[in-house]
């Protein structure tokens, strides 16, 4: 807002009188005060001046004028919102006592009897100019406060709308969470119910191969083995679904875990069904972690099993298990020199039932990494990977919210 000017040269006074000699006399009295003087010879001309420029501090107006007298002019001036705060001093040769009520009713703030006494006029003009300045300041402050109040009201309204949006989003999130929990429970129930018939199919197929396999020709035996292989794949998928559902709903039980002992136990478990003699497996010293032992075991099993699976076709397969430090946070990793993957497919990597290789190339269900992602994020951490196709892959995970600011490279 423009600050109020208080120099006399910035203060405008409107003089209204139908006689030029009277206007000149008034101007002569006020000339030493350096006010800006604007003159009008009629009420109509005065109104035109005020319509063109309403930034006047005082109006000095004769009461008796032809056409439109001072009282009528004052009523029209004060009928406009932007002009109603300009004080008016009436000049009159009439009896003030007889016209004082009419004058004040029309908007006058004071009277001066003609002939004008210069000292009295200058004194009253000074007093009303000071009053007008103070009034303009108050109006400006009122406008500022009104603008501030409107801004506060707008902010309050926006905050209320934001709160409503947050409440709506929270409700939507709760509904979706309940839906997910219901789906997890359903998946668990279905997976659990599927295991029994799958186990029966698997057992009966094995029994059929042992007891009657010799009675079948080569084609029949091949079909039985295909049935057995399919049921085993289905059993593995259902087990992963059960694990997926358990990890979503299981209670997180954190305690200090020796990661070195955990990795060695996982390697021993894997070696029971997968010979590891041809693999060079290097395990660095790993820092301990505060985590759920059973859940983190699944992370290591998945990462190390994948590293073995995708590097088994390499001439000299090598797997490195280690940890990096980043701002006091441990970042664990598993690196292999196997098939790797194209980073343009990265968005699919941790999705459920997403695979970056065909079943013929490498077997799998496509759910393991999604389980890992769930487990790590439940610990408040993050999981990610780096790879080049044909150049191996490195999978990272951390169990807290301190993430690396830049992509970490494992040499």
Instruction: Look at residue 90 and tell me if it is in a domain.
Output: yes
- The pLDDT, as a whole number, for residue 340 is 80
Structure tokens at 394: 């490195």
pLDDT tens, residue by residue, 290-344: 998 888 888 998 899 889 888 888 889 999 999 988 777 899 999 999 888 877 7
Residue range 186-229, pLDDT digits in tens: 555 555 566 667 777 777 778 877 887 788 888 887 887 777 77
Q: Which residues face 335 on adjacent strands? A: 320, 394
Whether 264 and 293 map to the same domain: the answer is yes
Read off the CATH number of the domain in which 44 is found.
3.40.50.2300
Q: Are 300 and 262 in contact (CB under 8 A)?
A: yes
Question: What total number of domains does the chain contain?
Answer: 3
Do 342 and 223 sit in the same domain of this protein? Answer: no
* Angstrom distance (rounded) from CA 295 to CA 371: 9
Domain encompassing residue 206: 176-248
Which tens digit of pLDDT belongs to each residue from 114-155?
888 889 988 888 888 888 788 778 878 888 888 888 888 888
Strand order in the sheet with 36-40: 36-40, 12-16, 58-62, 88-92, 110-113
* Pair (197, 85) in one structural domain: no
User: Of 248, 275, 299, which closes a domain?
Assistant: 248
Residue 407 has pLDDT above 50, yes or no: no
Is the per-residue pLDDT at 162 higher than 70? yes
The answer to whether residues 218 and 307 belong to one domain is no
Average pLDDT, rounded, for the chain: 79
Looking at residue 19, the DSSP 8-state letter turns out to be -
Q: Which of 220, 248, 276 is the last residue of a domain?
A: 248
Q: Which of the four pLDDT bands, split at 50, 70 and 90, describes residue 3?
A: very low
Same domain, 274 and 342: yes
- pTM metric for this prediction: 0.45
Which structure tokens are listed for 26?
């008034």
Picking from 43, 83, 84, 82, the residue whose alpha carbon sits closest to that of residue 66 is 43
What pLDDT does 362 receive?
43
Question: Does residue 267 fall inside a structural domain?
Answer: yes
In this prediction, residue 397 has a pLDDT band, given cuts at 50, 70 and 90, of: very high
Share of the chain above pLDDT 90, in %: 18
Q: What are phi and psi of 13, to 5 degrees?
A: -125, 135
Determine, yes or no, domain membership for 160.
no
pLDDT-derived band at 5 (thresholds 50, 70, 90) equals very low
Q: What is the helix (H) or strand (E) element at residue 387, kind and residue range?
A: strand 382-387
Residues 206 and 263 in one domain: no
In a domain, 66, yes or no: yes
DSSP strand pairing (110-113 vs 289-292): unpaired
Q: Which residues contact 398 (CB under 8 A, 6 or more apart)?
A: 326, 329, 330, 331, 332, 376, 381, 382
Q: Do 258 and 362 reside in the same domain of the chain?
A: yes
Shared domain check, 312 and 188: no
Ramachandran class of 279: left when φ > 0, alpha when ψ lies in -120 to 50, beta otherwise: beta
- Position 1 confidence tier, pLDDT thresholds 50, 70, 90: very low
The Cα 349–Cα 86 span in angstroms is: 76
pLDDT in tens, 264-273: 999 998 887 7
The owner of tokens 């598993």 is 334
User: Structure tokens of 402?
Assistant: 């301190």
Structural domain includes residue 225: yes
Predicted confidence at residue 235, as pLDDT, reads: 67
Rounded mean pLDDT, 402-407: 48
Mean pLDDT computed over 9-31: 89
Please check whether residues 290 and 193 belong to one and the same domain. no
Are 107 and 48 part of one and the same domain? yes
User: Considering the domain boundaries, does residue 70 fall inside one?
Assistant: yes
Out of 67, 96, 116, pick the residue that ends a domain. Answer: 116
Structural domain contains residue 375: yes
Name the E strands within 258-375: 280-283, 289-292, 318-326, 329-336
Least Cα distance to 259 among 215, 210, 299 occurs for 299
Does residue 156 lie within any of the structural domains?
Answer: no
How many Cα atoms sit within 13 Å of 229 on the Cβ side? 8
């Amino acid at each position: 807002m423009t600050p109020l000017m208080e120099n006399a040269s910035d203060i405008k006074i409107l003089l209204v009188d139908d006689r030029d000699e009277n206007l000149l006399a008034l101007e002569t009295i006020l000339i030493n005060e350096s006010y800006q003087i604007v003159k009008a010879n009629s009420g109509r001309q005065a109104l035109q001046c005020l319509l063109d420029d309403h930034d006047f501090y005082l109006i000095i107006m004769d009461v008796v004028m032809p056409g439109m007298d001072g009282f009528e002019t004052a009523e029209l001036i004060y009928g406009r919102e932007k002009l109603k705060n300009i004080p008016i001093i009436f000049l009159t040769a009439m009896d003030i006592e007889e016209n004082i009520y009419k004058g004040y009713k029309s908007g006058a703030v004071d009277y001066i009897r003609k002939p004008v006494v210069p000292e009295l006029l200058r004194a009253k003009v000074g007093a009303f100019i000071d009053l007008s300045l103070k009034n303009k300041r108050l109006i400006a402050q009122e406008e500022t406060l009104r603008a501030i109040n409107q801004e506060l009201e707008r902010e309050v309204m926006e905050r209320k709308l934001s709160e409503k949006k947050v409440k709506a989003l929270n409700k939507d999130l709760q509904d979706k969470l309940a839906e997910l929990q219901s789906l997890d429970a359903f998946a668990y129930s279905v997976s659990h119910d599927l295991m029994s018939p799958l186990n029966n199919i698997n057992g009966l197929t094995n029994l059929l191969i042992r007891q009657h396999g010799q009675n079948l020709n080569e084609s029949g035996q091949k079909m039985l083995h295909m049935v057995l292989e399919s049921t085993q794949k289905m059993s593995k998928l259902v087990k992963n679904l059960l694990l997926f559902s358990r990890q979503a709903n299981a209670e997180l039980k954190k305690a200090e875990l020796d990661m070195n002992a955990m990795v060695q136990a996982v390697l021993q478990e894997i070696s029971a069904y997968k010979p590891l003699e041809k693999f060079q497996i290097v395990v660095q010293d790993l820092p301990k972690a505060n985590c759920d032992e059973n859940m983190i075991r699944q992370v290591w099993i998945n990462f190390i099993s994948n590293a073995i699976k995708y590097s088994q076709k390499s001439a000299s397969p090598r797997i490195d298990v280690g940890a990096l430090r980043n701002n006091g946070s441990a970042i664990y990793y598993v690196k292999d020199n196997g098939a790797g993957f194209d980073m343009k497919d990265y968005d699919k990597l941790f999705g459920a039932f997403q695979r970056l290789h065909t079943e013929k190339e490498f077997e799998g269900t496509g759910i393991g990494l999604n389980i890992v992602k769930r487990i790590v994020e439940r610990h408040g951490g993050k999981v990610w990977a780096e790879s080049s196709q044909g150049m191996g892959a490195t999978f990272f995970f951390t169990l807290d919210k301190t993430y690396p600011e830049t992509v970490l490279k494992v040499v």
